[in-house]
Amino acid sequence: MTIGAVIHRLQRTKPRWNPTALAVVAARTRDPFRVLIACILSLRTQDTTTGPAAERLFALADTPEGMLRLTAARIERAIYPVGFYRTKARVIRAICRELLERFGGRVPDEIDELLTLKGVGRKTANLVVTMGYGKPGICVDTHVHRISNRLGYVKTPTPEKTEMALRAKLPRRYWIGYNDLLVSFGQNVCTPISPRCSLCPVRPLCRRVGVTTSR
């Protein structure tokens, strides 16, 4: 299997799929701060909830300064019902405070610096770098981990190990768009349970590792 052939087939099909909530946020403004906050909201939350919650919150504030003028309770009301909305409201305020105190209000464009922010893990840091700044990074969430292994491109037990394997193997020209492409594919076709293999544009190239039932 050639990963380039897989990616090119998926890219041709992607316009037919529903876009991810984070792709919508990034496409509107390319604002790293909005991407960062939307990433926080998206954790353990479906896109159908993340998108509207992000819109409600950004209608109130879309800068670190503006966000800190909101109380945690106000943020909670705006982002409900995202998962762990109370915790996320506190995390958002803490991140904004750190951005102002340590980075002059600017979202860092380096993964190592982003990881020093409370509540920011590798998934979020990589998404901010790629979607917010257009810099190479590999964000691995459950979709990317599952599909990369299902294709047979990597053989890894955890998302963290998948990221490292992809960094070593995936051609750098594909890094930026890899997450959004596979997340869209995973939400619309290559679902966790009973994937839609009959509709899959890359079925001839896929080893279907671990697939026992499909549609």
What pLDDT, on a 0 to 100 scale, did the predictor assign at position 128? 97
The DSSP secondary structure of 1-66, one letter per residue, reads --HHHHHHHHHHHGGGSPPPHHHHHHHHH--HHHHHHHHHHHTTS-HHHHHHHHHHHHHH--SHHH
Is the per-residue pLDDT at 49 higher than 90?
Answer: yes
- Residue 213 placed within a domain: no
CATH, residue 169:
1.10.1670.10
Catalytic residue among 31, 47, 88, 123: 123
Assess contact for 172 and 136: CB atoms under 8 A. yes
Q: Model confidence at 214, in pLDDT bands (50, 70, 90)? A: very high
Q: Same structural domain for residues 120 and 36?
A: yes
Q: Residue 136: enclosing H or E segment and its boundaries?
A: none
Query: Is residue 141 annotated as a catalytic residue, yes or no?
Result: yes
pTM: 0.91
Q: Residues 107, 192: one domain?
A: no
Give yes or no: residues 72 and 158 share one domain.
no
Concerning whether 62 is annotated as a catalytic residue, the answer is: no
Q: 200, 165 in Cβ contact below 8 A?
A: no
Helix/strand/coil for 135: coil
Q: Which of 93, 117, 132 is the last residue of a domain?
A: 132
Query: Residue 37 falls within a domain, yes or no?
Result: yes
Q: What is the CATH number for 62?
A: 1.10.340.30
Residue 197 in domain? yes
Residue-wise pLDDT tens digits, 10-37: 999 999 999 999 999 999 988 999 999 9
State the helix-helix crossing angle for 72-79 and 85-103, rounded to 10 degrees: 120
Do 73 and 143 share a domain, yes or no? Answer: no
pLDDT at residue 1 in the model: 65
Q: What is the pLDDT of residue 46?
A: 93
Q: Residue 32's domain spans which residues?
A: 21-132
Q: What is the pLDDT of residues 123-165, one digit of tens each?
A: 999 999 999 999 999 999 999 999 999 999 999 999 999 999 9
Find the catalytic residue in 31, 47, 88, 141: 141
**Is residue 211 assigned to a domain?**
no
118 lies in the same domain as 36: yes
Q: Confirm whether 212 is domain-assigned.
A: no
Count of structural domains within the chain: 2
What mean pLDDT is predicted for residues 92-106?
98
pLDDT at res. 161: 97
Is position 163 within any domain? yes
Is 73 within the bounds of a domain?
Answer: yes
Q: What confidence tier does 57 reach under pLDDT thresholds 50, 70, 90?
A: very high
Indicate whether 41 belongs to any domain.
yes
pLDDT tens string 159-211: 999 999 999 999 999 999 999 999 999 999 999 999 999 999 999 999 999 99
79 and 34 assigned to the same domain:
yes
| Domain end marker among 108, 132, 156 | 132
Question: Which of 111, 132, 153 is the endpoint of a domain?
Answer: 132
